[in-house]
Chain A
Amino acid sequence: MTQIVKMKGMNKYFGKLHVLKNIDLTVEQGEVVVIIGASGSGKSTLIRCVNGLEEFESGTLEVDNHPLAPRGGNQKNLAEIRKEVGMVFQQFNLFPHLTVKNNITLAPTRVKRTAQVVANATADRLLERVGIGSQADKYPSQLSGGQQQRVAIARALAMEPRLMLFDEPTSALDPEMIGEVLDVMRELAKEGMTMMVVTHEMGFAREVADRVIYIHEGQIVEEGKPDDVFDNPQNERTQAFLSRVLAH
């Protein structure tokens, strides 16, 4: 099987703060990896390293066989990696000055030089797929949070990524809108998309993940199949964390 992400001995600092400690992690093609952990544990930083939004200090990182150098190194592969890796953010980060459709067609037309008509057709198809086909000409501010996040997913998919990163995609949503976004993600997973998901939605993790990773203070302390991690955690940190988040 093809390995889409390969991390070896990766270390990341924010100033003196050691946020990622000696991370070894591989993600296979088609795999859904859910990363859980307390806030500040480094889980978002970990996936932000994959598309170079954060630089790391030492170790190695390969994304789809393109090595990404540590800070100060040659970043010539970064552009290629970003074309192949889509990302969905907690705050959606849609472009407020562009219509929904133009949010989606911007990158394909600018980066891949796709013709506007072709990009428009793709955008329509993707909007249909995430269930908001009728909103193409609206501006993001005219949509609900759940709709905005689904547009953000469509926007990332328009670049036909080999890997999708989700950084707490439902954390900024009203409770009644979480389901519609998780549904789209579930669908995506079913279609075989390789995904790295940082989330607090334990139900989603248990149901959709092929593998769950628990990070504590910048270290992977537990990883395994969701049922094993949730029902029979080995590490006492994981046990404590899960008893806190699953208690309510």
Chain B
Amino acid sequence: MPRPIPPNPTETHTVEFQFQFDWQAAINSIPYLAKGIPYTLMISFGGLAIGFVLGIVFGLLSINKSRALRWPATAYIEIFRGTPILVQVLFIFYGLPDLIGGPIDPLTAGIAAIALNSGAYISEVVRGGVQSIDKGQTEAGLSLGLSRPQTFWTIIWPQAFRRMIPPLGNQAIVSIKDTSLFSVIGVGELVRQGQVYIANTFTAFEVYFVVALMYLAITLSLSLILRLLERRGVASA
């Protein structure tokens, strides 16, 4: 019986790792994945638009003189900043129907979650922006005979808003990425589309790569727009 030849210790053994990025698979996935983009955008920007309104309302309430108005704002901000957005969306989608006695569609649940969550963060952005404006600006407005609301909306708010643009942009990017979590409630957004596609093709690497690029395309465009907005603002400030 011939003895097996012992491996030559001088010979190097390479483990053949036969992975190759399958460009074709990546390209093929694009049309299917792209169907998720409108949902991602709808949830992000629909939610952010409502979140912005919530942020202005609760942000301004949180710096109101009246304690009775301040505390509900503070409670809202602390609750939605202090709990995970995943829990929030699960609560809205699975929990709330028990309360209101009817189902909530996943798109609505997603928009609501982004709105409530970003609203809490934007409240803090609004508060910080308004408080950063020198008290002398308010005094100058009042001394000229402007009412408090006039002073706020014509003098304080425009200056505060300009300062709020960078943190608002930051929040928009965070919220866009947060929508990826909503695959758990079955909204056909980007990640969900990816998961469904992979289930049929087993091309996880390529598909998630494309998904990542699509997020990047959205967030980079937003960054670019914000930078232009800021530059335009600087010229007159």
User: How many residues on A have C-beta within 8 angstroms of the other chain's C-beta atoms?
Assistant: 28
Binary contact readout A109-146 vs B (1 if CB under 8 angstroms, 0 otherwise):
01110000000000000000000000000010100000
Q: Which residues of B contact A111 (CB under 8 A)?
A: 144-146, 150
Contact residue among B144, B155, B158 (Cβ-Cβ distance under 8 Å from A82): B144
Q: Which residues of B contact A96 (CB under 8 A)?
A: 159, 237
Segment among A63-71, A87-95, A239-247 that sits at the interface with chain B: A87-95
Contact A83–B137 (Cβ < 8 Å): no
Q: Are A107 and B159 in contact (CB under 8 A)?
A: no
CB distance from B161 to the nearest CB of A (A): 9
Interface status of B162 (Cβ within 8 A of chain A): yes
Q: Hey, which chain B residues are within 8 Å of A97, CB to CB?
A: 158-159, 162, 236-237
Give A125 to B155 CA distance when docked, in angstroms: 24
Decide: A91 and B136 in contact? CB cutoff 8 A: yes
Q: Are A83 and B145 in contact (CB under 8 A)?
A: yes
B174 lies within 8 A of chain A by Cβ: no
**B139 nearest CB neighbor, chain A only:** A53
Kindly state whether residue B83 has any CB partner on chain A within 8 Å. no
Within 8 Å by CB of B140, from A83, A95, A159, lies A95
In the complex, are the beta carbons of A110 and B139 less than 8 A apart? no
Cβ–Cβ contact B145 & A107, under 8 A: yes
B150 and chain A: residue at smallest CB distance: A110
In the complex with contacts A51-B143, A111-B145, A156-B144, A95-B155 CB distance below 8 A: yes
Q: Is A23 an interface residue (CB 8 A)?
A: no
A53-B144 contact in complex given A89-B136, A95-B137, C-beta closer than 8 Å: no
Please give the distance in Å from A179's CB to the nearest CB on chain B.
24
A-contacting residues, B111-139, CB 8 Å: 134, 136-137, 139
Question: How many angstroms from the CA of A197 to the CA of B212 in the assembled complex?
Answer: 65
Q: Chain B contacts of A83 at CB under 8 A? A: 145
User: In the complex, are the beta carbons of B155 and A139 less than 8 A apart?
Assistant: no
Which residue of chain A is the closest to B137 with respect to CB atoms? A93
Residues of A within 8 A of B154 (CB): 106, 110
Contact B137 A85 (CB under 8 A): no
Interface of B is mostly: helix
Are the CB atoms of A85 and B147 closer together than 8 Å?
Answer: no
Residues of A within 8 A of B150 (CB): 110-111
Give Cα distance in the complex from A53 to B148, angstroms. 12
- CB-defined contacts of B162 to chain A, threshold 8 Å: 97
- B49 lies within 8 A of chain A by Cβ: no
Measured between alpha carbons, how far is A97 from B153 in the docked complex, in Å? 13
Which of B140, B145, B237 has a CB less than 8 Å from the CB of A93? B140
Chain B nearest CB from A156 CB (Å) reads 7
Complex CA gap A51/B145 in Å reads: 10
Does residue A25 face the partner (Cβ distance < 8 Å to B)?
A: no
CB of A230 to closest CB in B, whole Å:
30
Q: Write out the residue numbers on chain A whose beta carbons fall within 8 Å of the beta carbon of B141.
A: 95
Evaluate contact between A159 and B145: CB separation under 8 angstroms: yes
User: Beyond A89-B136, A93-B136, A106-B154, is A82–B143 a contact (Cβ under 8 Å)?
Assistant: yes
Interface residues of B in 222-236 (CB under 8 A from A): 236
Within the complex, the shortest CB–CB distance from B165 to chain A, in Å, comes to 13
- Quick check: is A38 within 8 A (CB to CB) of the other chain? no
How far is A159 from B150 in the complex, measured between Cα atoms in Å? 16
Which residues of chain A have C-beta atoms less than 8 A from B136's C-beta? 89, 91, 93
B residues in contact with A141, CB < 8 Å: 237
B34 CB-CB contact with A under 8 Å: no
Cβ of B142 < 8 Å from any Cβ of A? Answer: yes
Which residues of B are found within 8 Å of A95, using beta-carbon distances?
137, 140-141, 155, 159
Asked if residues B237 and A110 are in contact (CB atoms below 8 Å), the reply is: no
Measured between beta carbons, the chain B residues less than 8 angstroms from A139 are 236-237
A-B contact pairs, 15 of them (CB 8 A): A51-B143, A82-B142, A82-B144, A87-B143, A89-B136, A91-B134, A94-B140, A95-B140, A97-B158, A97-B236, A106-B155, A110-B150, A111-B145, A159-B144, A159-B145
Besides the known contacts A95-B140, A95-B141, A106-B154, 9 further A-B residue pairs in the complex with CB atoms under 8 A apart: A53-B139, A82-B145, A85-B143, A93-B134, A93-B140, A97-B158, A139-B237, A152-B140, A159-B144
- Interface positions of B (Cβ within 8 A of A): 134, 136-137, 139-147, 150, 154-155, 158-159, 162, 236-237
